[in-house]
Structure 1
């Protein structure tokens, strides 16, 4: 087990340490048996790392070792011109001389004798500090055994540093933790990661999950121990382990956090992304919510690893986010378009961009990206994802980020935010068998209130209608205007064939669709979807008729014959 960071405390002052790297090791015993376990790194306050050193080893009668490689690192840090760690931090470790005099300095010997030496127990448990990672040690230290990493949120750790020493990125040890995690993954043995906050909030389930990952039995005795020191404590125990020595189990977290010192704000910005990288691999997460939801399955699993354009860059799915100060968050102040890609071409791209810029003008956006800039972002996003067919794009342009929360567009001084969200997405309706619609009680916006010709993100009335259709087990809901005439569905244009004529509502109460200009129903996401039932009443014979099939074929031919070619696309 490795201790990730080292903030100093006087013996009489009870402080929680910032971060610990934990190596959990299972060794081959003399009877032959199981594989050896090497350390695994994770950041956690010292009180938790040492608590684990008491909890797990004692429950399994396992010998524990508290930072067995600490002396060699201390010696190197004190003598190497490249690693003057203590002098750089201007922190005098009062136990330095004891470490140098009492502990083994040869790291190879420590690995051989202490970590992998002979013994009668089935498990051996070690911890070490990630920032004191040593290179050049035997490769078996990483390749053998089972490792786990312990982390803690720098938002919770940094306030404790201020009372003892100036914090630094090196002191936090997150860079080394990510490196260790990456190295273990490359070896094919990604280590379990546990979060100190989760351990404190829910110790039993966190430890049960960890034991499952390490393939060791959980024991209830892991949750309780006798107060006082243990023989495996290092010489630094009086400075670091006072709270652990006084404890008999994992204490409940305080309800409210400490005030965060703004002097550490820059360091928080630097370190939090690395913490989040590691935390994304925590399996057993608790939540402030009473019933946190499990991760959902995706309609198209391939979309779990997609890249999206946000602002002026392409980001992985889980990093593709807008600011809480963005206008789309502050009031739905945004416009959008839906685009489809067929065989290397973007269908009706120019027409969709025409409509987007009409909406932008109607909403008086400032600092709008040019048409060519938007097209370039679309092309780059598609090419980077390798998406040239069977793809749908949700193209959004928000008024942009505000300098402070509020309704006024005068607060928008950063320029617009462009979002290109491309997904693998087949048509969302049953276009072969037909769909069922119901009539919603929610009415379409009147142009006297909000012009439906503006393709904006204020879609609450559409969403309310969609809720009605979902409750009725229908595909969508037909929305009426204020006078009771058909306007559109909650998501598409609607058409009707009567006596050989195609009928469709006037566009005053609905969005003039790009697809609508050519064919008789729906929109970009669903293509052309025949309707076979409305409000329980069968339409025609209740199946797709010849006129609809003719229109579907014509639409298919249109998508093949037209569209803007994506650069670099080569047909198979």
Structure 2
């Protein structure tokens, strides 16, 4: 699942982890991304120390046996982690289905700015998400599955049923509720980013989109640049089953 930040991506991971047949992994390229770019992210040194810095080893694990003998492997990825020096061949593995989770840029930026003071177009991953989507679509000869975070919140059962059908697995009602709290599978960055999802026991109610005019002036150009990308991807979003 390819997403930018602040887009119910961790709630989606919780949803799949609550299935009996599914193992999950949380942003496995994060350590390699930070080590290669030198970027200053919250908890940077902790993330690098806890993760795998060699992206090749990460890719091997993602295409190897599913952990714990499970049948489904839900991989939560951030699109902006896929910098040019990190290979993407693993995405074409015959047993991997690439899906895309989108959210309108105004809402992403409003949420992101509450955790970090500034954000660039790169930070929210829209350009990279479209590039990955187009590469997968070109290889498949059709659009890969796209879901909108707002649609999941508005109709969790219907939207997740459509997603499961698109990736070839049965929908499980257990995906709609989960126990509150932190997971051993959460990234070490959870203390900075995951407060809301740790308190959750399911998908929250739909939220109105953030207003462009309410964004800080410094973020408005970022939203304007991301908006056309979002609209192109949104044309392919799955309808609820």
Unaligned runs of 5+ in 2: none
Question: Secondary structure in 2 aligned to 1:63?
Answer: strand
| Cα deviation, residue 117, structure 1 | 3.4
Matched, 1:275 2:226: no
Question: Secondary structure in 2 aligned to 1:124?
Answer: strand
Alpha-carbon distance in 2 for matches of 1:107, 1:255: 38
Question: Secondary structure in 1 aligned to 2:25?
Answer: strand
**What's the TM-score once normalised by structure 1's chain length?**
0.39
Unaligned runs of 5+ in 1: 6-16, 18-44, 79-84, 87-91, 287-572
Q: Which residue of 2 aligns with 1:393?
A: none
- Residue 170 of structure 1, aligned match among 118, 122, 126: 122
| Cα deviation, residue 102, structure 1 | 1.8
2:163–2:238 Cα contact (<8 Å) kept: no
- Residue 52 of structure 2, aligned match among 96, 104, 109: 104
Q: Could you say if the C-alpha distance between residues 222 and 269 of structure 1 is closer, same or farther in structure 2, counting changes exceeding 3 Å?
A: same
Q: Name the count of aligned residue pairs.
A: 234
Alpha-carbon distance in 2 for matches of 1:98, 1:185: 36
Matched, 1:200 2:153: yes
**What's the TM-score once normalised by structure 2's chain length?**
0.88
Q: Which residue of 2 aligns with 1:4?
A: 4
1:63–1:125 Cα contact (<8 Å) kept: yes
Q: Could you say if the C-alpha distance between residues 185 and 143 of structure 1 is closer, same or farther in structure 2, counting changes exceeding 3 Å?
A: farther
Alpha-carbon distance in 1 for matches of 2:221, 2:87: 34
Question: Secondary structure in 1 aligned to 2:144?
Answer: coil
Alpha-carbon distance in 2 for matches of 1:232, 1:256: 30
Q: Could you say if the C-alpha distance between residues 276 and 268 of structure 1 is closer, same or farther in structure 2, counting changes exceeding 3 Å?
A: same
Q: Which residue of 2 aligns with 1:132?
A: 81
Q: Which residue of 2 aligns with 1:179?
A: 131
- Residue 184 of structure 2, aligned match among 210, 219, 231: 231
| Cα deviation, residue 115, structure 1 | 4.2
Q: Could you say if the C-alpha distance between residues 118 and 223 of structure 1 is closer, same or farther in structure 2, counting changes exceeding 3 Å?
A: closer
More strand as a share of residues: 1
CA RMSD of aligned residues (A): 2.2
Alpha-carbon distance in 1 for matches of 2:93, 2:63: 13
More helix as a share of residues: 2
- Residue 149 of structure 1, aligned match among 100, 109, 128: 100
| Cα deviation, residue 206, structure 1 | 0.6
Matched, 1:57 2:5: no
Q: Give runs of aligned pairs for residues 84-483 of structure 1, distance below 5 A.
A: 85-86=39-40, 92-93=41-42, 95-117=43-65, 119=67, 120-135=69-84, 136-137=86-87, 139-144=89-94, 145-163=96-114, 164-188=116-140, 190-254=143-207, 257=210, 260-261=214-215, 263=217, 264-284=219-239
Tell which structure's C-alpha radius of gyration is larger.
1
Alpha-carbon distance in 2 for matches of 1:138, 1:266: 29
| Cα deviation, residue 180, structure 1 | 0.4
Q: Could you say if the C-alpha distance between residues 57 and 118 of structure 1 is closer, same or farther in structure 2, counting changes exceeding 3 Å?
A: closer
